[in-house]
Amino acid sequence: MPIFKKQKTPPIEIAINERLTGEAQSNALDFVAFARANGISLHGGGGGEVFSGWDIAGTAGASIGYIIVNGVPDFPGPWTIWLNSCDFVGDADDELKGAAWAHASPCGKCNKGWEKCGGGPRTIFGKDFDRLCHSPLMFTNPDAQALEHAKKLLLMLK
């Protein structure tokens, strides 16, 4: 059965509770609650029996990221947050800058063997990257600390 069989995307909390366990489940539910508490909405974007995705929309309704929940250890799972087309500038402490740089996503990393996604050169907090995905920051199965960084960066895009 194809992994990407198109069907209605379930509410994200249902997918998280069905596909994730332990720390991954707790962190994913925490992220969803944080997003909603900060006026960020999650819209089902498609998927299938194993893979589901949700668009992350900021307060103006524009897409600022994407989440998948697939529940499998294969990359990019069991869940991943991408932050969309952005060149981060402005004030950030060294810890947040380092976290952003550590999660910079080279084009093709998230879609092994797929065509280039439309990314390109990016500057993230003053550091230049040659070829990043159009969603230049990727947090795969983030632990609590990485999740806090993702939240701060998400608020910068909101």
Q: What is the mean pLDDT of each run of 10 residues along the chain (158 residues)?
A: 50 90 96 95 70 83 88 81 76 92 75 56 84 81 95 90
Strand partners, 79: 69
Output the pLDDT for position 122.
82
State how far the Cα of 90 lies from the Cα of 147, in Å rounded to an integer.
20
Output the pLDDT for position 108.
60
**Residue whose entry in the numeric block shows the structure tokens 């080279």:** 106
Output the pLDDT for position 3.
44
Q: Where are the domains of the chain?
A: 12-85+93-106+135-157
State how far the Cα of 50 lies from the Cα of 78, in Å rounded to an integer.
10
SS3 122: strand
State how far the Cα of 45 lies from the Cα of 111, in Å rounded to an integer.
17
Centre a 10 Å sphere on the Cβ of residue 137 and count the other Cβ atoms it contains. Answer: 27
